[in-house]
């Protein structure tokens, strides 16, 4: 994602990549706690944020 964000060359793309990375960390934390509801919630947020990142990076 860092490569794509740097190719896009915008602060908005870099911020979106950072958000997706945090979402992935949230999924990891939820899975380590074996909290399925929180894991599903974090995965949904990650999917939405990843879609935003792709739209920003490839416009």
* Domain count for the chain: 1
> Block means of pLDDT (10 residues each) for the chain, length 59 residues?
64 90 97 96 96 89
Distance in angstroms (rounded) separating the CA atoms of residues 27 and 39: 5
Domain with 15 in it: 2-57
Q: What is the reported pLDDT for 5?
A: 61
Q: What is the reported pLDDT for 10?
A: 76
Distance in angstroms (rounded) separating the CA atoms of residues 7 and 55: 14
Of how many residues is the chain composed?
A: 59
């Amino acid at each position: 994602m860092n490569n794509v964000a740097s190719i896009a060359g915008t602060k908005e793309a870099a911020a979106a990549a950072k958000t997706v990375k945090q979402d992935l960390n949230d999924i990891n934390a939820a899975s380590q706690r074996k909290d399925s509801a929180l894991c599903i919630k974090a995965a949904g947020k990650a999917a939405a944020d990843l879609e935003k990142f792709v739209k920003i990076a490839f416009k």
